[in-house]
């Protein structure tokens, strides 16, 4: 029985050691897709009055060396307003008011980013850890926002607008290679827009201080290594 167990163990070991998985080599590239959640951070109006929202995107990644890669990605998501928090803060600032209606106020992002990733693990490792840094070009569209209240009667309105902004991002990633050319990855990114004009205009109308807009993205996706 002991010899049989040893034989089975040897077969499993030889089979596993012969398996090949996707590895980073210089001048190779991958295509991938991802989804995840985006968490508003600053300014206070953005954090308080928008919800955590899902998003998705696609990327093209090129390995400059076996330890350094360059990537371009396109992202899309929409931050929805937190109606309950807007109403609660308005009533706190205007005691006795009755909020009749809150309409609009969504904040839609579509942007592309250019990143460099510096790997901290050897190219032949099945599990890889890497640091990420790069720039983003945001197109942000604010939907028309309207808050109507009575006792006393009041109306807060902000027109729709669409603007382009630049930003920076940085974070860390984890990559797991599977048999063949498949890589699964998890990334955490802090993204900051380099202007305080990107804040939803109704945030300032509701008494919140303007500041640089930032959010955290937690992304999960898959890459396919191309020969």
Q: What one-character-per-residue DSSP string does 177-226 give?
A: E-BSSEEEEEEEEEEEES-GGGS-HHHHHTTPPP---EEEEEEEEEEEEE
Looking at the predicted structure, is the pLDDT value of residue 127 above 60? yes
Residue 186, CA distances (Å) to 68, 73, 91, 221 in order: 17, 15, 41, 7
Q: Name the band, by pLDDT with cuts 50, 70 and 90, for residue 16.
A: very low
| All structural domains of the chain with their residue ranges | 2-226
Q: Name the band, by pLDDT with cuts 50, 70 and 90, for residue 209.
A: low
Looking at the predicted structure, is the pLDDT value of residue 25 above 50? yes
Would you say how long the chain is, in residues?
227
Burial class (CB in 10 A: 0-12, 13-18, 19+), 18: exposed
- Can you list the pairs that 94-98 forms with residues at least 24 positions away whose Cβ atoms lie under 8 Å? 94/149, 94/152, 94/154, 96/151, 97/149, 97/150, 97/151, 97/152, 97/154, 98/149, 98/150, 98/151
Stretch 59-78: mean pLDDT: 94
Q: Say yes or no: domain 2-226 is CATH 2.40.160.20.
A: yes
Stretch 207-216: mean pLDDT: 76
∠ CA 84-197-138, rounded to 5°: 90
Looking at the predicted structure, is the pLDDT value of residue 154 above 70? yes
Looking at the predicted structure, is the pLDDT value of residue 27 above 80? no
User: Is the Cα dihedral 12, 17, 18, 19 positive or negative?
Assistant: positive
């Amino acid at each position: 029985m002991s010899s049989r167990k040893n034989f089975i163990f040897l077969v499993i070991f030889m089979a596993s050691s012969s398996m090949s998985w996707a590895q980073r080599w210089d001048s190779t590239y991958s295509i991938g897709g991802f989804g995840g959640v985006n968490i508003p951070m600053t300014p206070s109006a953005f954090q308080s009055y928008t919800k955590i929202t899902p998003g998705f995107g696609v990327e093209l990644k090129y390995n400059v060396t076996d330890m350094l890669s360059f990537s371009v990605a396109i992202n899309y998501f929409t931050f929805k307003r937190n109606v309950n928090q807007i109403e609660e803060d308005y009533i706190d600032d205007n005691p006795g008011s009755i909020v009749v209606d809150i309409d609009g106020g969504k904040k839609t992002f579509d942007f592309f980013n250019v990143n460099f990733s510096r790997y901290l693990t050897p190219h032949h490792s099945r599990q890889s850890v890497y640091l990420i840094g790069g720039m983003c070009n945001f197109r942000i569209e604010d939907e028309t926002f309207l808050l109507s209240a009575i006792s006393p009667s009041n109306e807060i309105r902000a027109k729709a607008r669409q603007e382009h902004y630049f930003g920076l991002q940085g974070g860390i990633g984890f990559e797991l290679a599977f048999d063949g050319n498949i890589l699964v990855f998890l990334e955490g990114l802090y993204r900051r827009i380099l202007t305080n004009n990107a804040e939803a205009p109704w945030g300032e109308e509701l008494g919140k201080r303007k500041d640089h807009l930032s959010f955290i993205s937690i992304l999960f996706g898959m890459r396919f290594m191309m020969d």
